[in-house]
């Protein structure tokens, strides 16, 4: 299957993408991984992207699209892929359609992870990170440390990153609503959108997504689904 995964920040896209890709035996292609890979390998696109990033500018759509297309043409993606973080806007979605059409393939589904805005704020703003080891992550509601403000693992101080402040989260949501959310209507017009609730435990959301995608595969036509 060829799938685009969309949803607001805090919807759990990265987590779900990893599980879905494994269950479907297709590569998980994320924008972050694309950039890191191209920059580390010093590809022409990577060098170009880095030049924009070093100057503090946004990387142009055509550079991101070039990286994505190159990745989708690799051997492990012949039978499908799951795109996470791309496309981010309608112009990228249109370019993706053109690229796939040129290769004689098309998307099978656009999986929309739906989460209420207040829940997004709660999920992200409640995160606390260990200063000693950033891989130690806690949450003021969902994964509380035994002692407030202290990491259970190493005893380091727990703090809230600036990117996780409520003000910053709400700004990120505004950007999502303005730039990325319109691609849902774009793909809905093509009959590709499958909407599921991203509330609940990780495995519950994964099963919900797999069931919805399986239904689409069985019927060969995609319509909105909710759970």
Q: How far apart are CA 117 and CA 67, in angstroms?
A: 31
- Tell whether the torsion through CA atoms of 79, 67, 111 and 202 is positive or negative: positive
Q: Do 196 and 208 touch, CB atoms closer than 8 A?
A: yes
127-130 and 158-159: which strand pairing? antiparallel
Helices (H), the chain: 13-24, 31-40, 44-54, 61-72, 90-102, 117-125, 166-175, 182-188, 202-219
Active site residues: 13, 88, 127, 161, 172
Assigned token pair, 196: 């599921």
Dihedral angle, C-alpha 165, 6, 199, 115, nearest 10 °: 60
Check residue 77 and report its DSSP letter: G
């Amino acid at each position: 299957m060829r799938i685009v995964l969309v949803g607001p920040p805090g919807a759990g896209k990265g987590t779900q993408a990893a599980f879905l890709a494994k269950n479907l035996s297709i590569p998980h292609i994320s924008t972050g991984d694309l950039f890191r890979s191209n920059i580390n390998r010093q590809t022409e696109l990577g060098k170009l992207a880095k030049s924009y990033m070093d100057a503090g500018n946004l990387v142009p759509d055509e550079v991101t699209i070039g990286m994505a297309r190159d990745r989708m043409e690799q051997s492990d993606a012949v039978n499908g892929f799951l795109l996470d973080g791309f496309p981010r806007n309608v112009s990228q979605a249109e370019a993706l359609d053109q690229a796939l059409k040129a290769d004689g393939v098309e998307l099978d589904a656009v999986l929309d992870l739906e989460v209420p805005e207040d829940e997004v704020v709660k999920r992200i703003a409640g995160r606390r990170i260990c200063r000693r080891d950033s891989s130690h992550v806690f949450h003021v509601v969902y994964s509380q440390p035994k002692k407030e403000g202290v990491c259970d693992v190493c005893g380091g101080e727990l703090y809230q990153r600036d990117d996780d402040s409520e003000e910053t989260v709400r700004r990120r949501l505004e950007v999502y609503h303005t730039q990325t959310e319109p691609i849902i209507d774009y793909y809905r017009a093509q009959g590709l959108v499958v909407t599921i609730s991203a509330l609940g435990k990780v495995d519950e959301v994964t099963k919900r997504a797999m069931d919805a995608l399986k239904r689409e595969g069985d019927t060969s036509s995609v319509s909105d689904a909710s759970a």
